[in-house]
Chain A
């Protein structure tokens, strides 16, 4: 079984500041890891994914995440926050041994607030 813990249900940063959203996972087999973003009244959109290739993964809108096996972490970062980044962010995990076909287990989400 897999699980994901997102530290901080709300994160507030100033426009132009570094964004850091934390995600730790638990998995008994090598994982595939994902970050999704959800804007109000919309579905979830993939930001980036780790599928056992490069440990530093770059995604859309300037976001990136680094897979650290020793720390069981997959934190999401962006060097400079923009007002349009305000949204809900979800970290998710699935088992690589299932070919990713078992569905995703999501964290509870982190609401990112951008202060002008």
Chain B
């Protein structure tokens, strides 16, 4: 079975540019989560969706960050404009709905470097 698929795996961009990260969750999973990992702050939950609807975006650091889930098989995290402090690894994770015990299934991450 295919796991969570993220793209791109690596992105290097210059300050001020728009960055779009993409995620395809596991088929049949109702929940999708975006996390950010940095050395200083560890793993932070940015936003999560249930059945394509954003439930909690309190972790989104600034208005420069936005996330969408237009359908059950695709989500994007956009940063516009990007800044050097946005450099991090961004993970997408999904989990099933009914009978969910909280286990998250993670993608391999998108490593973003903003110069």
Of B42-50, B63-71, B73-81, the one with at least 4 CB within 8 A of chain A: B42-50
User: In the complex, which residues of chain B have a beta carbon less than 8 angstroms from the beta carbon of A42?
Assistant: 108-109
The closest CB in chain B to the CB of A106 belongs to B43
For residue A6, which residue of chain B has the nearest CB? Answer: B42
C-alpha gap A109/B41 in the complex (Å): 11
Closest approach, in angstroms, between the C-beta of A16 and any C-beta of chain B?
A: 30
A44 touches B91 (CB 8 A): yes
What is the interface of chain A mostly: helix, strand, loop, or mixed?
loop
Interface pair A100/B102, CB less than 8 Å apart: yes
Whether, in the assembled complex, B115 has its beta carbon less than 8 Å from a beta carbon of chain A, the answer is: no
Tell me the bound Cα distance from A99 to B100 in angstroms.
6
Residues of A30-65 contacting chain B, CB below 8 A: 32, 34, 36, 41-46, 49, 51
Given A44-B91, A101-B50, A103-B48, does the pair A90, B100 have CB atoms closer than 8 Å?
A: no
Task: Report the minimum CB–CB distance from A30 to chain B (whole Å).
Answer: 12
- Interface residue? B12 (CB, 8 A): no
Q: How far is the CB of B108 from chain A (nearest CB, A)?
A: 5
Q: List chain A residues, Cβ under 8 A from B4.
A: 43
- Known A-B contacts A106-B43, A108-B42, A109-B42; the reply to A101 vs B102 at CB < 8 A is yes
With contacts A106-B42, A109-B42 taken as known, whether A100 is within 8 angstroms of B103 at the C-beta atoms is yes
16 A/B residue pairs, CB under 8 Å, sorted by A:
A36-B106, A42-B109, A43-B106, A43-B108, A43-B109, A44-B91, A46-B103, A90-B43, A99-B100, A99-B102, A100-B95, A100-B102, A100-B103, A101-B31, A101-B100, A104-B45
